[in-house]
């Protein structure tokens, strides 16, 4: 049995997945900077994503810097 995570009161156009490539890269950096300042869970809540996803992005950022968050 799988449990689906649902976001309530969030517009689809505000979600990370619905952004264009360059917008996603900017948003990803914003999320990481927010997480470094306030923590992973608050960042996940604020940007409507999972804390585990934020942790993954922060880890990549710490290991590879801003260039690690760039998609090819």
- Residue 5, in any domain of the structure: no
Q: Based on the structure, what is the number of domains in the chain?
A: 1
Residue 14: per-residue pLDDT? 57
pLDDT of 5 > 70? The answer is no
Residue 42: per-residue pLDDT? 92
- Residue 45, in any domain of the structure: yes
- Residue 60, in any domain of the structure: yes
Find all residues with CB under 8 Å of 39, minimum gap 6, and list them.
Answer: none
Residue 12: per-residue pLDDT? 56
- Residue 4, in any domain of the structure: no
Owning domain of residue 45 = 17-69
- Residue 25, in any domain of the structure: yes
Across the chain, what does the average pLDDT equal? 79
Instruction: Note if the pTM is more than 0.85.
Output: no
pLDDT of 9 > 70? The answer is no
User: DSSP secondary-structure letter at 13?
Assistant: G
Residue 6: per-residue pLDDT? 55
Residue 45: per-residue pLDDT? 87
The alpha carbon of residue 69 and the mean position of all alpha carbons in its chain are separated, in whole angstroms, by 11
- Residue 11, in any domain of the structure: no
* Euclidean distance between CA atoms 26 and 36, whole angstroms: 16
């Amino acid at each position: 049995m799988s449990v689906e995570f649902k976001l309530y009161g969030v517009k689809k156009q505000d979600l990370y997945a619905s952004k264009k490539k360059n917008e996603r890269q900017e948003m990803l950096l914003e999320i990481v900077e927010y997480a470094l300042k306030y923590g992973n869970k608050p960042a996940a809540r604020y940007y409507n994503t999972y804390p585990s996803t934020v942790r993954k992005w922060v880890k990549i950022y710490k290991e590879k810097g801003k260039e690690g968050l760039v998609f090819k």
